[in-house]
């Protein structure tokens, strides 16, 4: 009855599961669980480390560089080689060690390894093993290839801690090639009518995904300072990204007719964007799947492009782990948990401060936001949770909403120097 | 359907009126004629009877998607629109179809009243032949409430551009009781067929709100009358037709049998613009009395006796079959009074009295007494004005009383629909009653999108309890609500009901301890005589 493409994903990291039976995890439950959930983040007592903690801790394992996962103030960081440059760029002078995908490392009495999550370049899922019992923390992930990030790799485990930002069956993404064609058709049509094309996209991940999707024969690509800075970091670590021009004084719609401009969502509709003269604006986000969200922004064009797994992706990924126990962290958690239980999983909800792809970024107006009380029940299953548009430092750019902490959180907004 | 979907896509992508009109005009020139008629019908509220109900749609969509019904039900309020939810839930179609809008609409009409199994098979087959955007439209055509971001006025303007027929003439031709699927495009927009036109009303002239009346100039150029709080209507009495139309172009003749005697006494070839009111002998009863009759297809004798209908006539649009709309209001008004004066006494119609005044200040004082008259304020009409089509600023103004206001606290929040999907916009408010908070009204408009976003954020973080799509929140956010009237209501816990409640201000400066009380509402109820009629 269900059309989730089972078996679409091949397990490449098949660790022997203890006891050969799924029930084998039960004895281990008798002692302390391998991972627990605290008010600082996901905690491993046996290894004395946290994963993507949101309060300062001694030792943090970081899945990727988005600001709701990589926060300042920890004593020591461990992250993949591919995510380290962005994390360093964003957090400044930190103690950061790197690890290769698939490399195992002993921490306390557990073994950890990092595996591609397909979310953004360098992003990882983190596998934690103790005496044959395996847990995997997904971080943010998507299973479809985006032409940029290392493709998602399913990791066999007993317990899987998964995001579910887009955990509703109305969210189904088109393949990257189709999205690229859509973007280029739109850009070419605008250019032909003498209009600049401005796309709002997250500065880490989505912006570069647009870059590799763009057909350079249509016109030049201009970037907002926040996008340019992150792109430069990724270029420096060896990613093949097309040439871009930073929008500095004198760079506008006249100097670069028919350009594609990539900017943070908060720059759309601001005075910064008016320099390009006649322009069409679009926003690239999974939320653009909903007509109401697009109309509320008054956008003629939305690109349904997300770096989070869609409904089919979440289901396929979860099945591919072989896990029996699933914890969902952020997104439509209540509904998605019920769905998983219907499918025979043991499922739970974990309250975290991860934000996924924020609908508020789609709204892009930073009203005075109210301090979260971090109550699990309060956010459970809520509609799209707010996000902080990855608080990239706007480095002196004119987009007003940028670079400001959008809500008071321990140092999330002022993460950058 | 592809042509219609392309039109919708263009309309949906722009907020510019000129672009919308251009897209529509192009459609009215090039689409199949039958499709044009359906589009005109749909954009003027002429939707065929619903062939499938929403429960059926949801369960068939769940079935076709291989998903449990509960999941479809949970997703609907998040997406905010059932038609869209279903179009997104369904798997990719297996086939395509070149069937026109007319073809699909006829199919839907033919399904009405058929056994569920037949309708189910037809709908599942349709879904399998339509692309996601086409499916969304198809579902919208079933569920209704489909405006496509285009008003009837805009549609008429586009049609005028496409056909070369004058806009006002077209507006009139599109009025009345015609049904798409039973009339050809040329017949609809072409010359009058006297038979078909017998009961046809004229497009209503509408007023705009005004606040600074002194700017209107010389008071001698203006006529003032009360703005009655009833149902605006047009009474048509022509050979072979006696019809009462509401402003929404709904034929409501049969709902007011107490007006039927007019048919025997009014001269033929007559069209009157009037307010339908529940009548207390000398003057109107509060709107609540009329409300009891609205929505009833047949009215019990008891209500006919308690709240008899009466017309207060504003204007004369046609006399002896002659269209008077271009004549000055002063002339039409004189003719109206003459026609009504010739009627025998005791009929349920009289002219809406003019309010005499010499200067604006005096008129302001008179306006302040509107509530005693059971009126909402005053109407100001230029004596030389024609009876124009729709809302044209300059000649007709409504000068309403300031609304009542009250400070209340939010108790529950629910997500909105359409462009407000995923935002919490529909709130239930409470006032203090001793140490308790009593819910007394809902409101869902009056704030900016930015405020709604901020409140949405707060609701998500402060939910105490969930009842389906409704969240209970701590009583902390205080709002100033405005409303037009108050009446007793045994159906509500608070015992009162408000008219047109809306939010005017988020009182961030005010704690919930300082909001108004149920007692103050009861006092207002007593003071306005709005006790249960």
User: Tens digit of pLDDT for each residue in B111-130?
Assistant: 999 999 999 999 999 999 99
Residue-level pLDDT at B311? 97
Give the DSSP H/E element, type plus range, for residue A331: strand A325-331
pTM of the model: 0.76
Question: What own/partner pairs with CB < 8 Å and gap ≥ 24 does A48-55 have?
Answer: A48/A107, A48/A108, A49/A78, A49/A107, A49/A108, A50/A74, A51/A126, A51/A137, A52/A137, A52/A139, A52/A354, A54/A352, A54/A353, A54/A409, A54/A410, A55/A410
Domain-embedded: residue B388: yes
Contact criterion met (CB < 8 Å) for A3 and B13: no
Q: Are residues B424 and B510 in the same domain?
A: yes
Q: How far is it, in rounded angstroms, from Cα B423 to Cα B101?
A: 33
To the nearest whole angstrom, how far is the Cα of B121 from the nearest Cα of chain A? 18
CATH of the domain at B466: 2.40.50.140
How far lies B253's CA from each of B114, B236, B309, in Å?
30, 10, 12
Tell me the helix, strand and coil percentages in chain A, rounded to 5: 25, 20, 55
Which DSSP helix (H) or strand (E) runs through A245? strand A245-246
Closest CA to A211 of A234, A236, A237: A234
Parallel/antiparallel/unpaired status of strands A159-164 and A325-331? parallel
Report CA torsion sign: A349, A352, A353, A354: negative
User: Residues B511, B388: one domain?
Assistant: no
CA-closest candidate to residue A376, choices A311, A329, A315, A325? A329
Q: Please determine, for residue B234, whether its predicted confidence score (pLDDT) is greater than 80.
A: yes
User: Is residue B196 domain-resident?
Assistant: no
Report CA torsion sign: A87, A93, A97, A98: positive
Say whether pLDDT at B156 is over 70: yes
Q: In a mutagenesis test of the B interface, which of A5, A170, A302, A366 is the best target, namely the one with the most B β-carbons within 10 Å?
A: A170
Q: 10 Å Cβ neighbour count for A39?
A: 11
| Same domain, residue pair B394 and B430 | no
Same domain, B333 and B475: no
| Residues B386, B418 within the same domain | no
Confidence of residue B194 (pLDDT cuts 50, 70, 90): low
Q: Could you tell me whether strands A245-246 and A221-223 are parallel, antiparallel, or unpaired per DSSP bridges?
A: parallel
B343 and B214, same structural domain? yes
* Per-residue pLDDT reduced to its tens digit, B12-36: 888 888 999 999 999 999 999 999 9
Domain end among B92, B124, B143? B143
Can you give the CATH number for the domain in which B49 is found? Answer: 1.10.3260.10
Q: Which residue of A has its CA nearest to B9?
A: A300
Q: Count other Cβ atoms within 10 Å, centred on residue A198.
A: 25
DSSP B284: B
For residue A61, give every residue at least 6 positions away whose Cβ sits within 8 Å of its Cβ, in sequence order, or none: A49, A50, A51, A52, A77, A78, A79, A112, A126
Taking an 8 Å cut-off on Cβ atoms, the answer to whether B461 and A370 are in contact is yes
Q: How many Å is the maximal CA-CA distance in chain B?
A: 74
Residues B282 and B346 in one domain: yes
Together in a domain, B69 and B82: yes
Could you give the 3-state DSSP secondary structure of residue B443?
Answer: strand
Provide, as residue numbers in chain A, all residues whose Cβ is less than 8 Å from the Cβ of B75: 168-170, 335
Identify the domain boundary among B379, B400, B421: B400
Taking all residues of chain B, what is their mean pLDDT, rounded to a whole number?
90
Distance CA A152, CA A17 (A): 21
Of B415, B421, B457, the CB nearest to A369: B457
- Same structural domain, B480 and B453: yes
Distance CA(B43)–CA(B36), nearest Å, equals 11
Q: How far is CA A61 from the centre of its chain?
A: 16
Which residues does A248 contact at the CB level (< 8 Å), separation at least 6? none
Residue of A289, A295, A369 with shortest CB distance to B419: A295
Q: Which residue has the tokens 């798409």?
A: B180
- Selection from A135, A108, A157, A139 nearest residue A36 by Cα: A135
Question: Across the interface, do B75 and A3 touch by the CB < 8 Å criterion?
Answer: no
Q: How far apart are CA B531 and CA B288, in angstroms?
A: 10
For residue B137, what pLDDT is reported? 95
Distance CA B45, CA B41 (A): 6
How far apart CA A337 and CA A342 sit, in angstroms, is 9
Q: Are residues B362 and B282 in the same domain?
A: yes
Q: Do B68 and A342 touch (CB under 8 A)?
A: yes
Judge if B349 and B420 occupy the same domain.
no
Q: Specify the pLDDT at position A392.
A: 30
CATH code, domain carrying B350: 3.30.470.30
- Look at the block and give the residue holding tokens 């007319």: B102
Average pLDDT value for residue range B345-349: 93
CB atoms near residue A52 (< 10 Å): 24
Six token digits for residue B476: 């902390």
- Please tell me the least confidently modeled range out of A132-136, B142-146, B301-305, B330-334: B142-146
- In angstroms, the CA A89 to CA A73 distance is 14
For residue B82, give its domain range: 2-143
| Residue of chain A whose alpha carbon sits nearest to that of B90 | A170
End-to-end CA distance of chain B: 51
Model confidence pLDDT, tens digit, residues B315-332: 999 999 999 999 999 999
- ipTM over 0.90 threshold: no
- What is the number of alpha carbons within 13 Å of residue B529 lying toward its C-beta? 9
Sequence-ordered alpha helix ranges (H) in A343-375: 359-363
Distances from the Cα of A354 to the Cα of A79, A135, A374, angstroms: 17, 19, 11
Q: Are the C-beta atoms of A248 and A241 separated by less than 8 Å?
A: no
Class in CATH terms, A176-303: alpha beta
Total domains in the fold of chain B: 3
Choosing from B338, B365, B400, the residue where a domain stops is: B400
Strand order in the sheet with A104-107: A104-107, A110-116, A124-130, A133-137, A159-164, A325-331, A346-349
Q: Are strands A36-38 and A41-44 parallel, antiparallel or unpaired?
A: antiparallel
Tell me how crowded residue B231 is: count the other CB atoms within 10 A of its CB: 24
Does B198 fall in a domain?
no
Q: In chain A, what residues touch B12 (CB-CB under 8 Å)?
A: 291, 295
Q: Does B410 touch chain A (CB under 8 A)?
A: no
Instruction: Catalogue the E-assigned strands of B333-392.
Output: 349-351, 354-355, 375-382, 390-391
Per-residue pLDDT of chain A (417 residues; tens, 9 = 90+): 334 343 444 444 444 444 333 433 344 444 689 999 999 999 999 999 999 999 999 999 999 999 999 999 999 999 999 999 999 999 999 999 999 999 999 999 999 999 999 999 999 999 999 999 999 999 999 999 998 999 999 999 999 999 999 999 999 999 999 999 999 999 999 999 999 999 999 999 999 999 999 999 999 999 999 999 999 999 999 999 999 999 999 998 899 999 999 999 888 888 898 899 999 999 999 999 998 888 877 777 899 999 999 999 999 999 999 999 999 998 888 899 999 999 999 999 888 888 777 665 444 332 222 222 222 222 222 223 223 333 233 222 333 233 333 333 333 333 332
Superfamily of domain A18-171+307-350 in CATH is: Ribonuclease Z/Hydroxyacylglutathione hydrolase-like (3.60.15.10)
N-to-C CA span, chain A: 52
| Domain-wise residue ranges, chain A | 18-171+307-350, 176-303
Q: What is the phi/psi pair of residue A333, to 5°?
A: -65, -45
Q: Determine whether the interchain pair A375/B461 forms a contact, defined as Cβ–Cβ distance below 8 Å.
A: yes
- Alpha carbons A38 and A376: distance in angstroms, whole number: 12
d(CA B506, CA B440) in angstroms, rounded, equals 18
How far B108 CA sits from the closest chain A CA (Å)?
25
Q: CA torsion angle for A357, A362, A367, A368 (degrees, to 10)? A: 0
B494 shares a domain with B364: no
Q: Contacts of residue B74 in chain A, CB cutoff 8 Å? A: 335, 338
pLDDT at B509: 87
B454 chain-A contacts, CB cut-off 8 A: 367-370
Q: Which two tokens stand for residue B73?
A: 């039900």
| Nearest chain A Cα distance for residue B505, angstroms | 16
Give the distance, in angstroms, between the CA of residue A160 and the centroid of all CA atoms in the same chain: 17
pLDDT for residue A141 = 97
């Amino acid at each position: 009855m269900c059309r989730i493409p089972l078996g679409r994903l091949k397990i490449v990291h098949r660790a022997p599961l203890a006891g050969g039976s799924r029930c084998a995890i039960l004895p281990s439950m008798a002692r302390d669980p391998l991972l627990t959930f605290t008010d600082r983040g996901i905690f491993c007592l046996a290894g004395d480390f946290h994963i993507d903690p949101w309060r300062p801790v001694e030792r943090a394992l970081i899945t990727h560089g988005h600001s709701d996962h990589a926060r300042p103030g920890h004593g020591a960081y461990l992250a993949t080689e591919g995510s380290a440059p962005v994390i360093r760029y964003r957090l400044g002078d930190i103690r950061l060690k790197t690890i290769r995908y698939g490399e195992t490392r002993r921490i306390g009495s557990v073994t950890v390894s990092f595996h591609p999550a397909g979310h953004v370049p360098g992003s990882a899922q983190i596998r934690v093993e103790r005496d044959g019992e395996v847990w995997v923390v997904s971080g943010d992930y998507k299973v479809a290839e985006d032409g940029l990030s290392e493709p998602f790799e399913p990791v066999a485990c007993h317990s899987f801690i998964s995001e579910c930002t887009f955990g509703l069956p109305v969210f189904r993404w088109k393949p990257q090639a189709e999205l690229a064609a859509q973007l280029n058709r739109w850009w070419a049509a605008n250019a032909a009518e003498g209009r600049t094309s401005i796309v709002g996209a997250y500065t880490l991940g989505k912006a570069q995904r647009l870059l590799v999707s763009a057909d350079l024969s249509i016109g030049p690509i201009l970037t907002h300072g926040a996008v340019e800075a992150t792109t430069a970091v990724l270029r420096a670590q060896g990613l093949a990204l097309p040439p871009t021009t930073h929008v500095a004084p004198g760079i506008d719609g006249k100097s670069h007719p028919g350009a594609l401009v990539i900017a943070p969502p908060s720059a759309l509709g601001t005075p910064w964007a008016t320099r390009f003269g006649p322009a069409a604006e679009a926003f690239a986000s999974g939320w653009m799947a909903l007509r109401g969200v697009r109309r509320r922004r008054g956008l003629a064009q939305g690109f349904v492009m997300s770096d989070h797994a869609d409904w089919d992706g979440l289901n396929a990924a979860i099945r591919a782990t072989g896990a029996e126990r699933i914890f969902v962290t952020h997104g439509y958690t209540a509904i998605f948990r019920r769905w998983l239980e219907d499918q025979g999983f043991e499922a739970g909800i974990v309250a975290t401060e991860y934000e996924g792809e924020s609908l508020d970024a789609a709204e892009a107006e930073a009203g005075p936001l109210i301090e979260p009380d971090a109550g699990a029940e309060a956010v459970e299953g809520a509609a799209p949770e707010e996000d902080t548009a990855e608080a990239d430092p706007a480095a002196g750019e004119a987009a007003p909403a940028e670079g400001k902490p959008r809500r008071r959180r321990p140092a999330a907004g002022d993460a950058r120097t | 359907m592809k042509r219609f979907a392309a039109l919708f896509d263009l309309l949906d992508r722009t907020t510019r009126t000129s672009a919308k009109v251009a897209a529509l005009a192009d459609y009215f020139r090039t689409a199949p004629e039958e499709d044009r008629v359906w589009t005109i019908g749909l954009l003027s509220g002429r939707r065929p009877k619903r062939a499938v109900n929403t429960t059926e749609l949801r369960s068939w969509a769940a079935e076709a998607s291989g998903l449990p019904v509960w999941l479809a039900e949970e997703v609907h309020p998040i997406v905010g629109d059932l038609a869209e939810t279903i179009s997104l839930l369904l798997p990719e179609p297996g086939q395509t179809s070149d069937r026109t809008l007319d073809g699909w609409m006829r199919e839907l009409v033919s399904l009405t009243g058929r056994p569920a199994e037949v309708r189910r098979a037809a709908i599942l087959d349709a879904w399998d032949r339509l692309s996601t955007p086409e499916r969304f439209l198809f579902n919208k055509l079933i569920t209704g409430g489909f405006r496509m971001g285009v008003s009837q006025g805009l549609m008429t303007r586009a049609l005028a551009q496409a056909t070369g027929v004058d806009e006002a003439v077209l507006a009139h031709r599109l009025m009345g009781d015609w049904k798409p699927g039973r009339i050809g495009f040329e017949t609809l927009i072409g010359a009058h067929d006297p038979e078909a036109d017998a009961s046809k009303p004229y497009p209503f002239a509408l007023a705009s709100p005004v606040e600074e009346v002194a700017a209107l100039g010389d008071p001698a150029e203006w006529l003032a009358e009360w703005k009655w709080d009833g149902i605006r209507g047009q009474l048509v009495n022509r050979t072979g037709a006696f019809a009462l139309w509401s402003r929404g172009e709904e034929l409501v003749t049969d709902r007011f049998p107490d007006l039927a005697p007019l048919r025997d006494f009014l001269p033929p070839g007559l069209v009157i613009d009037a307010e339908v009111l529940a009548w207390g002998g000398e003057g109107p009863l509060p709107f609540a009395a009329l409300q009891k009759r609205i929505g009833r297809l047949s009215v019990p004798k008891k209500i006919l006796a308690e709240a008899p209908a009466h017309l207060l006539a504003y204007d004369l649009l046609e006399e002896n079959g002659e269209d008077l709309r271009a004549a000055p209001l002063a002339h039409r008004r004189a003719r109206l009074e003459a026609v009504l004066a010739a009627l025998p006494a005791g009929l349920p119609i009289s002219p809406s009295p003019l309010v005499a005044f010499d200067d604006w200040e005096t008129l302001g004082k008179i306006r302040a007494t509107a509530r005693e008259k059971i009126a909402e304020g005053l109407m100001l009409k230029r004596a030389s004005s024609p009876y124009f089509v729709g809302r044209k600023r300059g000649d007709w103004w409504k000068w309403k009383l300031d609304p009542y206001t009250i400070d209340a606290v939010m108790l529950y929040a629910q997500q909105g629909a359409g462009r407000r999907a995923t935002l919490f916009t529909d709130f239930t408010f409470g006032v203090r009653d001793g140490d308790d908070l009593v819910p007394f009204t809902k409101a869902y408009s009056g704030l900016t999108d930015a405020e709604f976003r901020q409140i949405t954020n707060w609701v998500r973080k402060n939910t105490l309890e969930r009842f389906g799509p409704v969240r209970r929140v701590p009583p902390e956010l205080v709002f100033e609500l405005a409303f037009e009237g108050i009446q007793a209501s045994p159906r509500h816990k608070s015992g009162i009901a408000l008219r047109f409640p809306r939010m005017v201000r988020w009182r961030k400066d005010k704690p919930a301890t300082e909001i108004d009380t149920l007692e103050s509402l009861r006092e207002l109820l007593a003071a306005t005589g709005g006790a249960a009629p």
